[in-house]
A and B are shown apart, each in its own frame.
Chain A
């Protein structure tokens, strides 16, 4: 029996006991590692092998790119190990530094480089607010970016002569180069190929036989030839077919080739999205009395495009990297400009080439990784409940 005196020892808890921290073995860095890296013998072995491989790869890279690197210097002497010393010299960043303007602007005349800078700045100023969903005035922004910016950029980059008076001196496209050419080709290709691709995709699914046939032939033709062939034809064969003395601008030829080529790929990506839309959506739209273009604009395309964002961005990234192919038609994109600098006897050393390629890969990675992350962000933003 429990007496009163004894019962006073008992008490009834009126509030929660203080929460103890989770055991060390399941929380914090240690816990995370236990759970994810060392949860079993097999995992532990794999983790150790992975770490070892990463060490094998990263240690020399860091050693080469940072620790042994040469940061300043006037010419190749700076990046050479003393004769016979057997020392290793790392990345020759002094070379990249000396050539940096050329990598960014090509051989654009130094006194006119401000024009390229304005174009770069305008591009960033217009693109960044366009890319951030929260910023208002999207329509105005898009109109500025897609209509006004190309015109302004065209005249800024190529030059402007009004009635015989030189406002901006003409700069021929043959001396453009470096990142400028890479971006001009990539941005033009990307912005022009998406609408073209959508039209072609709609055309391919059209009921009108002529439109359909044209679209199919167009798409299959451009998908059937390699981009190198397209570029080569446009730069080597086309001039032979044209009448004497008549020449197209080389950059223009490349731009048209790249755009048509990627439009064909884009069309197939978009068609994939169109096919994934259930028939009921089409029928529903028609039942509402929407015409073809209204149906596409309001119902079908928003859903279809959202679904194929990864595919679209994939094509964009592919296009961005394919710009390096223009080297074979004698245009110097970023990679071409870097490669052509290797042969400069003032800077030729055993490490010059490696440094140049490292620099090129860093820039390409920045752009492509940026595009890829943004596409994931957009996917999540537009994710409205169809997934999983």
Chain B
């Protein structure tokens, strides 16, 4: 989520020259028969290969949803595990068709890097983890705490901003590697462990007694993570964007993997439009009209994907929080299909 700026800028300078308009990514994808999707090299719950080598995760499900929309088959995806440095080059050079790799939507990436963010799959942000025995209920009670973090990341700067603006003394204990930070926190070198909230839940599994630790409710930075496509291919941008919106809309309308077939017979005009019973919204995107049916059948709605990959019943156990639907107290919101 944080990346070194220099390679990015360098990549951007080259990238602008290199990204010429090829024949439309959607046509290319249809011709080759699969989507090449850039994912992380292993982030639990988002994109992670399991022991059998199958990719799973929320980011992976976005790739699969797009494949379901285009081909009617969610399995027509090939994955390129990318590290933080090469992810944008891979997209710019056309090595991958879309990037779904816990990438934070920022102004510079959206504009000068020549990328388009197609939406937000997960509203992340920096959070704090503490021991339950500390008896702390909120981040504002952390005055005087020692904070374990990784060196040279924006997390370190965010902590400094947060504590200073709230007039709380603090002490930074910084380490080079993420694993060292966890070990230090586990060994009691510091009171607080901070990184992106989704990461906190993943790292908690590596602690000796995960049950003794809680993640505080405060989130001190905005890290909206979403799928990314190249600038200048509006049709493909629309396909990826609306595949994601379709998942959110499906959840809002109560359409699930299990009931999608019977929902086709629903009288609700919104459901009829979404599932392609009325109107030709799929054709407008260059897809078949039952594209949403395919997405929900193949991947499920947004809520199902969330619960399956990162939700309370998974080892990660992340609550919906900000990522609940707008109608349920969160901010996940999709424009209507009409």
Bound CA span A118–B43, Å: 33
Q: Are B52 and A353 in contact (CB under 8 A)?
A: no
**Closest-CB distance, B43 to chain A (whole angstroms):** 6
Q: Report A105 CB to chain B, min CB distance, Å.
A: 9
Chain A residues whose C-beta falls within 8 Å of the C-beta of B80 in the assembled complex? 174, 330
Q: Does A349 have its Cβ within 8 Å of any Cβ on chain B?
A: yes
**Contact in complex: A350, B208 (CB < 8 Å):** yes
Residue in A235, A329, A332, A346 whose beta carbon sits within 8 Å of that of B50 in the complex: A346
CB distance from A62 to the nearest CB of B (A): 22
Does B266 sit at the interface, judged by CB under 8 A?
no
Bound-state CA distance A264–B95 (Å) is 31
**How many interface residues does A have (CB within 8 Å)?**
44
Q: How far is the CA of A137 from the CA of B201 in the complex (A)?
A: 61
Interface size class for chain B? 35 or more
Among B51, B179, B207, B211, point to the contact of A344 (Cβ < 8 A).
B51
Let me know if A298 is at the binding interface, CB within 8 A: no
The reply to whether A350 and B211 form a contact with Cβ atoms under 8 Å apart is no
A348: interface (CB < 8 Å): yes
- Number of A-B pairs whose CB atoms are under 8 Å? 114
Distance (whole angstroms) from the CB of B5 to the closest CB of chain A: 15
A241 cross-chain contacts in B, Cβ below 8 A: 14, 18
A353 touches B94 (CB 8 A): no
Report which residue of A107, A174, A348 has the largest number of chain B beta carbons within 10 angstroms of its beta carbon.
Answer: A348
Q: Which residues of B contact A76 (CB under 8 A)?
A: 205, 315
A172 vs B20: C-alpha distance when bound (angstroms): 26
Contact B208 A81 (CB under 8 A): yes
A236 and B4 CA atoms in complex are apart in Å by 14
A313-340 interface (Cβ within 8 A of B): 328-330, 332, 336, 339-340
A45 to chain B, nearest CB (A): 35
Known: A102-B53, A240-B89, A240-B93. A345 touches B14 (CB 8 A): no
B205 and A237 contact, CB distance less than 8 A = no
Interface residue from A235, A247, A345, A353 paired with B316 (Cβ < 8 Å): A345
- Chain A, residues 232-272, CB within 8 Å of chain B (1/0): the string is 10011101111011010000000000000000000000000
- Contact pattern, B 31-74, Cβ under 8 Å of A = 1, otherwise 0: 00000000001111100111111000000000000000000000
CA distance A99 to B83 in the complex (A): 22
Return chain A residues, CB-CB under 8 Å to B89. 236-237, 239-240
- Chain B residues with CB under 8 A of A102: 49, 51, 53
Quick check: is B15 within 8 A (CB to CB) of the other chain? Answer: yes
Which A residues are CB-close (under 8 A) to B14?
237, 240-241
A236 pairs with B208, CB closer than 8 A: no
Among B20, B206, B211, B212, the residue within 8 A (CB) of A348 is: B206
Known contacts A240-B15, A346-B50: A340-B206 contact under CB 8 Å: no
- When each residue 163-186 of chain A gets 1 if its CB lies under 8 Å from chain B and 0 otherwise, what string results? 000000000101100000000000
| Residues of A contacting B308 in the complex (Cβ-Cβ under 8 angstroms) | none
Select B94's contact among A236, A237, A244, beta carbons within 8 Å.
Answer: A244
- Whether A385 is near chain B, meaning CB under 8 Å from some CB there, is no
Partner pick for B41 among A107, A172, A244, A340, CB 8 A cutoff: A340
Chain B residues whose CB sits within 8 angstroms of the CB of A107 once the complex forms = 49, 53
Residues of B within 8 A of A (CB): 7, 11, 14-15, 17-20, 22, 41-45, 48-53, 78, 80-83, 85-86, 89-90, 92-95, 179, 186, 202, 205-209, 211-212, 314-316
